[in-house]
């Protein structure tokens, strides 16, 4: 699957900027930079455990995310290498959540291992088929993740839980950088093929679902805990509409593309129905 030279060049530059910034300003060490020594001074609650465990569960699918991502992005150096950096950073998040769960005593090593085994007994598959659609998905999914972790950091700050505040500061900052890269890539895609990109964006928004929904055990129970997920209203305003604004797409453009996508789906359903009669 080839890509236009201009897209390759722009994505290469965007990746180098992302990488340089991450090296200079965003590298953090989960063992030295999170103040673990003071962990037991703070109140570590069951809700903290459910949040961290759920987030850890989603992050643990990094091998699937990166394997599938590499297959799609390989023709574009900048995007493929972003995938590699992204995978490393997300794996660091999983390790950090694991450290928190076990060091706090909220989960024994055996309980954590059982959870990890349950997670890894499933595999994550691409929710969408093309690199551009996955970029649309990534922009929204990283926005949602950033918003969730930012809310956790604010909550920790209000409670005076310095360790969780620090932990979620580092992790949310990474997610903001990921979100930024995907938004940049979408701007490039819009410049190359605006109608096609709008069509993909509409399709992804229509069928968007966070990865944890089908993969993390007892997800329905977990999202009852405040902070595990976002309300649809909050995600609409701060995720979807904020993304549109960031990439220069109006609501009217999106709605037009959504209507067209709805017509395409109906035609596809009708064709399928005819084929099975």
Partner 1 sequence: MSEQEIMALLREAFAKESKGNLTVALERGRKLTDLGFDSMSALSVAAYVEDRLGVTFADAALSHVASIGDFVDMVQSALKEAS
> Which residue lies nearer to partner 1 by CB, 61 or 235?
235
**Residue found under tokens 């024994």:** 108
Q: Could you tell me the sign of the dihedral formed by the alpha carbons of 23, 133, 127, 78, in that order?
A: negative
Nearer to partner 1, 84 or 258 (CB): 258
Q: What is the DSSP letter of 38?
A: G
Residue 122 interacts with partner 1 (CB under 8 A)? Answer: no
Q: Quick check: 258 binds partner 1 (CB under 8 A)?
A: yes
CA distance 124 to 143: 20
Number of residues that bind partner 1 (CB under 8 A): 16
**Looking only at residues 196 through 215 of this chain, which bind partner 1 when binding is defined by CB under 8 A?**
205-206
Phi, psi of 193 (to 5 degrees): -155, 90
Among residues 89, 86, 103, the alpha carbon closest in space to that of 28 is found at 89
Alpha-carbon distances of 256 from 87, 261, 262, 268, rounded to whole Å: 34, 9, 10, 19
Alpha helix locations (H) across 74-123? Answer: 77-103, 109-120
Binding residue for partner 1, selected from 237, 269, 270, 271, defined by CB under 8 A: 237
Return d(Cα 10, Cα 46) in angstroms, integer: 46
State the Cα–Cα distance between residues 180 and 157, nearest whole angstrom.
Answer: 25
For the bound state, the minimum distance from the C-beta of residue 252 to partner 1, rounded and expressed in Å, comes to 6
Binding residue for partner 1 (CB under 8 A) from 74, 214, 221, 245? Answer: 245
Residue 270 interacts with partner 1 (CB under 8 A): yes or no? no
User: Do residues 6 and 192 make contact, with C-beta atoms less than 8 angstroms apart?
Assistant: yes
* Closest to 164 measured CA to CA, from 229, 106, 238, 113: 106
Which of 114, 191, 236, 270: binder of partner 1 (CB under 8 A)?
A: 236
- Per CB under 8 A, the segment of 45-53, 173-181, 249-257, 268-276 that binds partner 1 is 249-257
From the list 39-47, 56-64, 177-185, 251-259, the region that binds partner 1 by CB under 8 A is 251-259
Query: How far apart are CB 235 and partner 1 at their closest, in Å?
Result: 9
Nearer to partner 1, 70 or 208 (CB): 208
Choices 55-63, 165-173, 213-221, 230-238 (CB under 8 A): range interacting with partner 1: 230-238
Residue of 5, 252, 275, 277 interacting with partner 1 (CB under 8 A): 252
The reply to whether 233 sits near partner 1 by the rule CB under 8 A is yes
Q: Which residues bind partner 1 (CB under 8 A)?
A: 205-206, 232-234, 236-237, 241-242, 245, 251-252, 254-255, 258-259
């Amino acid at each position: 699957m080839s890509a236009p030279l201009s897209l390759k060049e722009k994505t290469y530059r965007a990746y180098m900027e992302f990488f340089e910034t991450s090296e200079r300003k965003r590298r953090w060490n989960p063992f030295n930079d999170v103040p673990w020594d003071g962990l037991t001074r703070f109140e570590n609650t069951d809700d903290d455990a459910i949040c961290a465990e759920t987030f850890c569960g989603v992050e643990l699918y990094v091998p699937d995310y990166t394997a599938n991502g590499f297959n799609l992005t390989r023709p574009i150096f900048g995007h493929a290498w972003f995938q590699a950096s992204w995978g490393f950073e997300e794996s660091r998040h999983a390790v950090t959540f694991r450290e928190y769960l076990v060091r706090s005593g909220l989960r024994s090593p055996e309980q954590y291992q059982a959870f990890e085994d349950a997670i890894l007994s499933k595999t994550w598959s691409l929710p969408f088929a093309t690199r551009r659609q996955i970029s649309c998905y990534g922009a929204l999914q990283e926005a949602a993740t950033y918003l969730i972790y930012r809310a956790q950091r604010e909550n920790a700050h209000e409670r005076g839980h310095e360790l969780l505040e620090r932990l979620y500061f580092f992790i949310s900052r990474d997610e903001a950088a990921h979100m930024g890269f995907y938004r940049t890539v979408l701007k490039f895609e819009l410049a190359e093929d605006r109608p096609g990109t709008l069509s993909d964006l509409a399709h992804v928004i229509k069928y968007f679902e966070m990865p944890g929904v089908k993969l993390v055990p007892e997800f329905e129970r977990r999202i009852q805990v405040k902070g595990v997920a976002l309300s649809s209203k909050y995600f609409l305003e701060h995720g979807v509409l904020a993304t549109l604004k960031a990439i220069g797409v109006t609501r009217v453009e999106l709605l037009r593309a959504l209507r067209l996508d709805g017509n395409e789906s109906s035609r596809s359903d009708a064709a399928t129905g005819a084929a099975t009669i």
